[in-house]
Structure 1
């Protein structure tokens, strides 16, 4: 568990260092970086409190069609309130900030914010004993915040309300879709702890056995897509940075 957290920490730091160096003009001060990162951590704490207040169990929709149950569970137990909380706290972090001026600055600041949320969340998983290896290489919240920051930056720059809507709606959608397949796979297998991969007959007798292979494939594809999306967004930030430098 600790190893997974350490690997995730290294991955997040490398991504954030790459992005921070892409800021055009005066670099972010250490104080600004700490503020953005800290507000991301605060957003995680608030999201955890909300999850405890709502008290929606992960298996609340168990028994429904796995894909439908996975989507609803992902939306209600994580993506909806997490992204709303992050949107609010990102705006608070950027309020009256004089260092994040352009939409690119805001995109990078949002990624730093996402790093704070992501690292603290992974620390939580390490403490409770989660050994999800995939988490080590999939800093999803940095991706979600890159998307949110891009559209929020555009909203600040253009004043168009549609970008505010997109800055919240698209991260919620991407977050939900990514979690949907993982949860759907879990629901396809069910809560039978005694079932092992060797118990082929037991698995084939499960109500939604036909969903297991497709959901496993979709989970793998979603993980690969997450990695590709992070790489693409980082390259986009690098491209936008060079374009801004050339324009100055």
Structure 2
């Protein structure tokens, strides 16, 4: 039987062309504190950390790294979510057997865990990881706390098919749905009873199936001004959505898509 952590979003990672510029941009827009560490297993490489303060403790929320030279020109700057699984190898195999794909085979990150890059049957990419045991777990914080990843959204090839697929892979279940009229149904999915994201059949203007990650901020309107002042561009919003929230979708100066969510 899967553990309670199987299927839980645990991390977000930015692949970028300019770590210094991305560090300054997201620190200003989201309010993250930025730091860095040596890249595990890669001599001389740096891995960036975005985090928040929880009392006297630091809590990492997201990471970033430079797009590897061998992928330059093949991979645009992008954010990818990580989902915890009990067995990376078994889950990667299950993705492939159910019509998805393994984009990067399972491998170990020293002292961090074992991960793989997979794609669902419609091509949306996500990372899976079995984290290494931690002596001190990260401090708990309430959903919606500024700086956390507040929502995960899938533009699927087919929303209903995607929900069924991820239900089999991660144990996610439908929490409720919204009828968006001509745009179809927006399916809210839950992990261990908590609504954590939504899925919908992608509209024509979204060229491929993909995931989008929403970072919580105190004020989307204030963040909008910062995005524009620092060279980013807004592609949608601000827009009020159910739940007394406001969302915004944007592109950072290096070209990575991201989204924000905050209170009205």
TM-score, normalised by the number of residues in structure 1:
0.23
TM-score, normalised by the number of residues in structure 2:
0.22
Question: Which structure has the larger Rg?
Answer: 1
> Larger relative CO (CA 8 A, sep 6+): 1 or 2?
1
Which structure has greater strand proportion? Answer: 2
